[in-house]
Structure 1
Amino acid sequence: MNLFNLAKDKLLNNDVAKKILGNSSWLISDKIFNMILGVFVTAVVARYFGPELYGEFNYALAIVSLFTVLSTLGLEILTVKSIVDKDHEEGTVLCTSFLLRVLGGIILTVVSCIVMWMLEPSDKYLQLIVLIMSSSMVIRSFEVIEYWIQAHQIAKISSLIRIIVSLVTAGLKLLLVYFRGDLILFSLIYTIDITIVSAALVIAYIKYRQEKSRWRFSISYAKEVLSQSWYLVLSGLMVSLYMRIDQVMLGTMMPNKDELGIFSAAVRIAEMWYFVPMAIIVSFRPVIMSKKKSNNDGYIRSIQLLYSIVAWMGIAFGVFILLFSRSIIGILYGPDYIESARILSVSIWAGTFAMLGSARGVWLVTEGLQRYSMAYIAAGCLINVTLNYLLIPSYGGYGAAIATLASQITVAIIAPAFFKPTRISSIMMLRAFNLKSLFLDIKRK
């Protein structure tokens, strides 16, 4: 108890820690609300459509998601870093990032439609769904304003926006079920959600920005940021592949989409806790980047503390889900999805390593080592595709879950250990699983 009180006093008397906690609390509150609302609404929708149609929607969503990650062009971390470092005017950073994302979104919308046409040449229904949802990649360009919010640690703005928009779109989804709408209308709601969020972000930026620098496109900054981001772009593609390829392969290798619907139900539950570590990672990001310049010891301790917090959050949530997986699936999705419980018992552990990988991304960019991420993410992608190819025919969604877990462990810990500059991150991640070190890190903080 004395150790707990000491840690509490340290946090409350540390201005940086209080800012992180304040920013994280808004991000976490937003995500908790969206998680509760989203899980309930998703369960209603999944029950309404059934495993087959729900699987078809998630098949289309997996195709779009493959390219949505890529459409960010790796600009999120780099844009936040540019705003924090103040090497360029804020308006130049945001305008250039926005226009680059618009161009990337247009190109990738076309690419995603072509890919779906190649995979399902005779299914015009799925092709239309992909077209509707992939158009959101262009609209998502306004997410550059969220980068500005992250850099200034004013998460209250975006959190309130997402809470309100979530209520609106949840209502639309329930109305769709009530009036017995189809997947086309459901895919439209997906795009409407992103459109409303984008419009609200623009309004918030105009109202709350303090630096009135003019928005202008800079070719020199575009070249600079793209020269740094191509590692992140390729990494994003490979991350997207090993995060979504299981759903794509399930949709193409299995005789129908039932198995994918069951698998997607499990993944939805397994991913619902991600918002907590991601909120903390986002809040730690500017602090870690700032400490790199002023306090190297504090910089290392901050990274280790971040790894430890993420690891033990994953363990706590994983044990809870493992104990109650069947009850959770039964209550939310009903007997048609009960096989999801077995898949969930494996999928839940992949999230811990996925979030550790996300936390390491801050360290990689700060150290200028993002080029190494390509190699070990490629290794994870190879492991995932190979194991999916071998396991899906015999084990279906359960085999895909095993493949995902193996690939996440490879990317987070095994592959980085083979490279001397990034080996320390593997060591720090292993140390993060020591509960005693977590309390010591808080104490030193």
Structure 2
Amino acid sequence: MSTPDKDINNKKSIKKNSFFSFLTTSLRVIANFFLFWTIARFYGPEIFGQFTYAFTVITIFLYLADFGLDILLTTDLPRDLSQLNIIFNELLTIKLIFICISSSLLFVYAFIVNISNAVFQLLVILNIYLIATSFLNYLFAFFRALEKLEIETKITFIYNLFVIITVSLLYIFKFEVVYLAFSLVFFRLIALFLAFQWSLKYIDKIRIKIKFGLLKKYKSKVSIFGTHYIFNYLYYNIDTVLLAYLTGEKSVGIFQAAFKLLVILLIIPEIINNALLPALSRLNNEDILIWEKYSSLLNKILMIIIFPATILVYANAHSIIDIVYANSQYNYSAVILKYYVLIIAIRFMIEPLGLLLTTSNKQHVRAYTVLFVTIISIIMNILLIQKYGVIGVVLTGLVSNSIILITYIFFSYNICKKWYFNYKNVHFLLSIILFAITIVFIKSIFAHIFLYLIYLTVFGYFIFLTSEEKALISAYK
């Protein structure tokens, strides 16, 4: 049962986690955006396409190396902190096995797949980046499990400061992109060293012991979390790999120019997910009612942010691309941006439902769903990219994300009834229609941004949220 002291501790914990999650994710997104924007704007679509293609491939193999073990550590450790050393070392041992497998497969991929010399060089260099990042992700997950997100924030700040400085030098001195890859590897190793030193404050001793019994012990959980983890990323990013293979690296640059802008929106659910995952995992064991309240609040916050934002981006896609890239080679990116933002809206709706399933020990639903949808996505991408080019990626994304949303709603139907079928959502729908009409009659993008901020404040906070939900937010002191 919930007590006043527990409620206060939950609010303080979530507030602190939200703050540091916001800082960490924002720092990473700002640095990555600056990195990709510099390459896109000053090196052109082809080199940008080569770099983003190589990075996408690296990230796919990184997810294989992580195989959901980070999420498993973040959710399992808070449930039983008395087993901290045992859980940390056992999952780290399994992680090492997956890192070795993933790194080896990446070398095989680089040698057997038909790619340009530039991409081949990037893949070989960034393989070390993959290894360092996978270990670093594990340590960050450990800090999140302990609800010590400030450590990740400090290390992320140092790493991304180096990245921003390096990217600036890259542009000023016109270095080749391959030198940037070397720099990213070097800075990643520094970040890993810092995280390792910090982890020793909480771990008695790090022990790596390869034992068959470990795989047997964690087989069911690792397979579920790993399947979801790798296929969840794969179905979101396989389009980039297929696009490069079927239409060339320049098409990847055109697509990624739009997608990298929309990633900025995706930091919002990521921030909330990182902040709430450990707390909700704990609350699901301690107090279901409080667990439901925070989940509902998350859903409403994401809804009120993304739907008017989708309208704003849809109406101003061409202006956004012109302002950001100032390069006529990216004109078609505006079309991608205009329609892909609809997929981002669906992903915002998916996020709180996915968090419900993960924290209520129903991760298998997510795993099987993304496995099925990834297969559909690969087939649709192959067919539609050949017929429609880059826009085929958008059509595939709309279908595959819709399937996931419908599936998650089905498995959380009782909660979804409370979330969606109420008078508040009728008012919300009417407000969105009114917002869209207003956008149509006012042409300035800056006026649209101002209206968006007013909408979030006036309707989002003062009207859409209930007094109890506002209390959950304002009580963070």
TM superposition score normalised by structure 1 = 0.86
Q: 1:119 and 2:113 equivalent? A: yes
- Contact 2:110–2:124, Cα closer than 8 Å, also in 1: no
Counterpart pick for 1:43 among 28, 33, 37 = 37
What is the 5 A alignment of 1:59-208? 59-86=53-80, 89-120=83-114, 123-139=116-132, 140-206=134-200
Q: C-alpha distance in 2, partners of 1:346/1:101? A: 38
Counterpart pick for 2:205 among 211, 214, 224 = 214
Residue 365 (structure 1) aligns with: 358
Counterpart pick for 2:367 among 374, 382, 390 = 374
Residue 299 (structure 1) aligns with: 291
Change (3 A) 1:23 1:91: same
SS at match of 2:204: coil
- Tell me which moved more, 425-434 or 46-55: 425-434
Residue 260 (structure 1) aligns with: 252
Task: Report deviation, 1:193.
Answer: 3.8
Q: C-alpha distance in 1, partners of 2:198/2:69? A: 21
Q: 1:20 and 2:38 equivalent? A: no
Q: C-alpha distance in 1, partners of 2:278/2:173? A: 46
Residue 274 (structure 1) aligns with: 266
Q: In the alignment, residue 102 of structure 2 is paired with which amino acid?
A: L
Q: C-alpha distance in 2, partners of 1:416/1:119? A: 35
Q: C-alpha distance in 2, partners of 1:221/1:423? A: 36
- Contact 1:44–1:333, Cα closer than 8 Å, also in 2: no
Change (3 A) 1:414 1:280: same
Task: Report deviation, 1:93.
Answer: 2.1
Task: Report deviation, 1:440.
Answer: 6.3
- Contact 2:72–2:225, Cα closer than 8 Å, also in 1: no
Residue 319 (structure 1) aligns with: 311
Q: C-alpha distance in 1, partners of 2:467/2:342? A: 25
Q: C-alpha distance in 1, partners of 2:324/2:112? A: 35
- Contact 2:155–2:195, Cα closer than 8 Å, also in 1: yes
Q: C-alpha distance in 2, partners of 1:429/1:137? A: 40
- Contact 1:64–1:130, Cα closer than 8 Å, also in 2: yes
Q: Deviations over 1:10-37 (max 9, x none)?
A: 9xx9442232122211221333344344
Task: Report deviation, 1:422.
Answer: 4.7
Q: In the alignment, residue 466 of structure 2 is paired with which amino acid?
A: F
- Contact 1:343–1:398, Cα closer than 8 Å, also in 2: yes
Q: C-alpha distance in 2, partners of 1:282/1:112? A: 28
Change (3 A) 1:350 1:88: farther
Q: C-alpha distance in 2, partners of 1:353/1:97? A: 33
Q: C-alpha distance in 2, partners of 1:426/1:346? A: 26
Residue 335 (structure 2) aligns with: 342
Q: In the alignment, residue 214 of structure 1 is paired with which amino acid?
A: K
Task: Report deviation, 1:228.
Answer: 0.6
Q: In the alignment, residue 219 of structure 2 is paired with which amino acid?
A: L
Q: Deviations over 1:362-399 (max 9, x none)?
A: 33233322222233213322332233223223432222
Task: Report deviation, 1:428.
Answer: 6.4
Q: C-alpha distance in 1, partners of 2:372/2:471? A: 36
- Tell me which moved more, 371-380 or 428-437: 428-437
TM superposition score normalised by structure 2 = 0.81
SS at match of 1:319: helix
Unaligned runs of 5+ in 1: 1-9
Q: C-alpha distance in 1, partners of 2:172/2:305? A: 37
Q: C-alpha distance in 2, partners of 1:87/1:151? A: 9
Residue 4 (structure 1) aligns with: none
Change (3 A) 1:443 1:125: closer
Q: C-alpha distance in 1, partners of 2:86/2:341? A: 41
Q: Deviations over 1:129-168 (max 9, x none)?
A: 1122233232121322212221222222211221221111
CA RMSD of aligned residues (A): 2.8
Q: C-alpha distance in 2, partners of 1:292/1:248? A: 38
Residue 300 (structure 2) aligns with: 308
Q: C-alpha distance in 1, partners of 2:178/2:109? A: 19
Counterpart pick for 1:410 among 396, 403, 411 = 403
Change (3 A) 1:308 1:49: same
Change (3 A) 1:312 1:226: farther
- Tell me which moved more, 269-278 or 97-106: 97-106
SS at match of 1:216: coil
- Contact 1:77–1:365, Cα closer than 8 Å, also in 2: no
- Contact 1:291–1:298, Cα closer than 8 Å, also in 2: yes
Task: Report deviation, 1:59.
Answer: 1.8
- Contact 1:329–1:338, Cα closer than 8 Å, also in 2: yes
Residue 30 (structure 1) aligns with: 24
SS at match of 1:135: helix
Q: C-alpha distance in 1, partners of 2:308/2:180? A: 34
Q: In the alignment, residue 265 of structure 2 is paired with which amino acid?
A: W
Q: In the alignment, residue 442 of structure 1 is paired with which amino acid?
A: E
Unaligned runs of 5+ in 2: 429-462, 473-477
Q: C-alpha distance in 1, partners of 2:282/2:126? A: 37
Q: Deviations over 1:212-254 (max 9, x none)?
A: 5333347555543332120121222321221111111110111
Q: C-alpha distance in 1, partners of 2:360/2:130? A: 30
Q: In the alignment, residue 118 of structure 1 is paired with which amino acid?
A: I
Q: In the alignment, residue 99 of structure 1 is paired with which amino acid?
A: T
Aligned residues: 426
Q: C-alpha distance in 1, partners of 2:190/2:316? A: 36
Task: Report deviation, 1:281.
Answer: 1.3
Q: 1:442 and 2:469 equivalent? A: yes
How high is the sequence identity, in percent, across the aligned residues?
19
- Tell me which moved more, 188-197 or 215-224: 215-224
- Tell me which moved more, 281-290 or 301-310: 301-310
Q: C-alpha distance in 2, partners of 1:198/1:409? A: 38
Q: In the alignment, residue 206 of structure 2 is paired with which amino acid?
A: W
